[in-house]
Structure 1
Amino acid sequence: MPGIKKEKDVILQLLIEAVNEYEDYEVPVTLNVNGTLVSGTLQSAEDYFKEMLEVFDEDSDADKHVYEQLKKATDQLKSGEEPEINYIHVKDAKMFDESGAAAPSKGEVTWRGKLHEVDGFFIGKLKES
């Protein structure tokens, strides 16, 4: 419904803060986001941006522009600034439909979503059926 703002789950936000703060800390998680299940491992925002920097390696002018903006965001995270947590990053993510089928079926993806759009979660990953 328009006009209704969803609240962020404070427990999920706490887990994201821990992943962001403690190096090599990982939490397997499955999220319910508007009826879709997203399952993988929570990833720090800094690690997410580092992965994105590798994708945009300055080969073209457009890549260079995206790279520079991502680098700026990464540098802000490293500076110790504590930005408000609005996004959640899940590495090795799979999205599951009602039948239990996962996408992508092969390979690894990193998923980024809005924290306030998560309807629910549990600790642990789903396995493909």
Structure 2
Amino acid sequence: MANAKKEQATTEDAVLLMFLSLAENDGIEMNVTLNVQGTLVSGVLIGSRAYYDGITESAHDLRDDTMSRIIGKRFEDLKDEYVKQKQEQGDKKEDEQEPPAYIHLRNAKYQHTQPAHPAWWRGKVSSVDAFSFDSLI
């Protein structure tokens, strides 16, 4: 992951960036509905750490034990890398830190569909066309 190309958020929406920062840095969670290229997605806005923890826990529910261990380990590694990057950024002032490139939702659902179980969702911040702080779906 260290060699991975770093993606940057390409939104200038100060309100969205503020709430992403609250989720990332302060653990704030809130209901949100996003319009992503014409598709509505609702869920609970969460930070990256909560997303990685949730995916890791969800891996334990997989029927295939080998796949469960592999996915759990890979997401644990991703979370460790994320924590390391956050610690390195911690020395920078908040206005010098890069905004998150991804937005994460827990219990995500799409317009006109109902997931059979809570869905974890990750999307590019740059793909969000509009948002509402409520669950509209």
The ranges of structure 1 where at least 4 consecutive aligned residues each deviate by more than 6 angstroms after the TM superposition are none
**What residue is the counterpart of 1:36 in the other structure?**
39
**Structure 1 residue runs without a partner (length 5+):** 1-5
Q: Once the two structures are aligned, what percentage of the paired residues are identical?
A: 30
TM-score using structure 2 length: 0.69
**What residue is the counterpart of 2:92 in the other structure?**
none
**What residue is the counterpart of 2:81 in the other structure?**
73
User: 1 CA distance for matches of 2:78 and 2:22?
Assistant: 22
The 1:115–1:70 alpha-carbon spacing in structure 2 relative to 1, beyond 3 Å, is same
Q: What is the number of residues matched between the two proteins?
A: 116
RMSD in angstroms over aligned alpha carbons?
A: 2.7
**What residue is the counterpart of 2:19 in the other structure?**
15
Query: Is the deviation greater in 113-122 or in 72-81?
Result: 72-81
1:89 corresponds, among 100, 104, 129, to 104
Deviations, residues 17-67 of structure 1 (Å, cap 9, x unaligned): 0112223x2221100001100001101111111122234569468447624
AA at the equivalent of 2:83: D
Check whether the contact 1:49–1:74 (CA below 8 A) recurs between aligned residues. Answer: no
User: 1 CA distance for matches of 2:76 and 2:133?
Assistant: 35
**What residue is the counterpart of 1:120 in the other structure?**
130
Q: Going by fraction, where is helix more abundant, 1 or 2? A: 2
**What residue is the counterpart of 2:113 in the other structure?**
102
User: 1 CA distance for matches of 2:66 and 2:26?
Assistant: 33
